[in-house]
Structure 1
Amino acid sequence: MPRFTHRTALVTGAASGIGLATAERLAADGAARLILVDLDEAALARVGLPCAVVRAPGDVRDEAFWDALDLSGLNLAVVNAGVAGAAPLSDHPFDEWRRILSINLDGAFLTIRAAMRAMHERGGAIVAVASAAGLKPEPGVAAYGASKAALLHLARVAAKEGAPRRIRVNGIAPAGVETPVWDVVPMFADRARAIGRDAAFAELAALATPLGRYAKAEEVAEQIAFLLSDAAATITGATLVSDGGYLL
């Protein structure tokens, strides 16, 4: 039975990876209208879905973009746009720190604020896509991990503020997911060139994950859809850890 009939959903970072998989899941589950945001206008134009689609190319860090975007009728939002990066703290350029924080946290703040304003009268559900890196410290991911830890706390604050308006806000914290975000991580990119992308994912997962594999974007999308659905009607302010046992 369709879970999202007659509902309008916003998905950021919708042109690839978890965002695209989530948009496809919501459309398959009956969403009437999807508002898709991504900085990559060409990739966004290639997204085809069996429902009404509003493609909104833009930068989630741009307050003017959100002020101009029509979110009327919004019921659901997936705060997914983000970037990765890796460097030891002592070698981390400040401009790279600011770039990662501005996209992953400033952009998320503006997205959540816009969604909550749009849902003010009717309620709704929001899922913030964070990371297990925001829960477990590892060398080399200071900016990324800090941004995702802050995002999870931002989601909890939003959940408490949104509850009187029947706005639910939850976070999801995947560990390894086979998405293009890994391609900019030097360690992974080097290994993928040496042995192939699939083999590099398998090698990483065997080392880091008790279950011995990384998630597919479609699996995370299904978990996001659950948190957005009426089946999760009493869940708010929670973080769903989807990590294959990485935190153990």
Structure 2
Amino acid sequence: MTYNFSGKRVMVTGAASGIGLASARALADAGAAHLVLVDLNEQALNNLDLACETSLYAGDVADEALWDRIEGDGGALDAALLNAGIAGQAAPVHKMAFADWRQVMAVNLDGLFLSLRTAMRQAKDGASMVLTASVAGLKAEPGIAAYGASKAATLHLAKIAAKEGARRRIRVNAIAPGGVDTAIWDSAPFFEELVEKHQGDRAGALNTMAEGMTPMGRFETAEELAQQVLFLLSDASGTVTGTALVSDGGYTL
């Protein structure tokens, strides 16, 4: 399918890499007039080359001052992808440091709340939003208490925002990806070990992991997820609101 975002002003957080970057590119290619792009990595933001006008905001999404600045600059939103997040340190609950727990919650929940609050304040009637959750918020796995809890909360927050925005025809949905081929794996110690076992072949390591985790035997690309985001942000998704699009290759079956 093709989507038409001509004349639209769209916000994307976590816009400099992964799903956020792929979605920003897809939105620009679909005719978006203006993208409001937010990411912690200022250099990566400045290096983006998109075929539309952009407003770039480098900063921590958990910093309320960043959102005060964005709101102060004004501008109504037609759509928003609230995607910024981190995986954090993996550890069982009884061994997890509180600082590691708080780091994940600060970005994945505090940052999501602040970005959603701004998006709801700036949203036009009939606007649409997508929150990036994860199948980790649906299926329990050991060692990911902070990440899984934050993504479960993301799913419910999307429902609450959808109900609050419904009178203004503001639609709010979530995506819940399973494994996605992004750089988020590269900092995980277990994945580094797997790459070593594959003599440095990252693609081979990723395929091995996907075959072991998903009935379909593969992970998605960020570009595939971006198309799902555009569907939910576009008029093609009709009255879909308050739901989660699970895209996990059958992992949760």
- Give the TM-score, by structure 1 length: 0.97
Which among 107, 110, 115 is matched to residue 106 of structure 1?
A: 110
Find out whether 1:10 has 2:14 as its counterpart.
no
Shift of 1:90: 1.4
The reply on whether 1:151 has 2:154 as its aligned counterpart is yes
CA RMSD of aligned residues (A): 1.1
| Aligned 1:130-145 pairs, distance under 5 A | 130-145=133-148
Q: Deviations 1:121-144 (Å, cap 9, x if unpaired)? A: 533000001100000000111100
How many residues end up aligned between the 2 structures?
247
Cα distance between partner residues in 2 of 1:33 and 1:194: 45
Mapped partners of 1:197, 1:127: distance in 2: 30
Deviation at 1:71, TM superposition (A): 4.5
The equivalent of 1:218 in structure 2 is 223
Which residue, 183, 190, 195 being the options, matches 2:193? Answer: 190
User: Are the equivalent residues in 2 in contact too, given 1:84–1:185 (CA < 8 A)?
Assistant: no
Quote the offset at 1:246 in angstroms: 0.3
TM-score normalised by L of structure 2: 0.95
Moved more, 191-200 or 26-35: 191-200
Establish whether residue 207 from structure 1 lines up as the match of residue 212 from structure 2: yes
- Per the TM alignment, residue 2 of structure 1 is displaced from its structure 2 partner at its CA by 4.7
Residue in 1 that maps onto 2:240:
235
Q: Which moved more, 1:169-178 or 1:41-50?
A: 41-50
Moved more, 63-72 or 214-223: 63-72
Identity %: 55
Question: Any idea what SS the aligned residue of 2:117 has?
Answer: helix
C-alpha separation in 2, matches of 1:164 and 1:38 = 31
1:70-102: CA deviations, max 9, x gaps?
341211100100000311111111100000011
Question: How far apart, CA to CA, are the structure 1 residues paired with 2:227 and 2:143?
Answer: 30
Flag as ranges the 4+ runs of structure 1 deviating above 6 A: none
Deviation track 1:171-225 (CA, whole Å, cap 9, x = no partner) reads 0000000011112222112212332211111011000000100000000000000
Q: Which runs of 5+ in 2 are unaligned?
A: none
Classify the secondary structure of the residue corresponding to 1:137: coil
Deviates further, 190-199 or 178-187? 190-199
Q: Select 2:165's aligned residue among 162, 165, 177.
A: 162
Aligned partner of residue 122 in structure 1, secondary structure = strand
CA contact (8 A) 1:84 1:184 kept: no
Secondary structure of 2:4's aligned partner? coil
Counterpart among 172, 177, 180 of residue 177 in structure 1: 180
Q: Is the 8 A contact 2:3 2:230 kept in 1?
A: no
Task: Establish whether residue 245 from structure 1 lines up as the match of residue 250 from structure 2.
Answer: yes
Distance in 2 between residues matched to 1:189 and 1:122, nearest whole Å: 46
Q: Distance in 1 between matches of 2:3 and 2:212?
A: 38
Distance of 2:174 and 2:113 partners within structure 1:
13
The one of 85, 89, 109 aligned to 2:93: 89
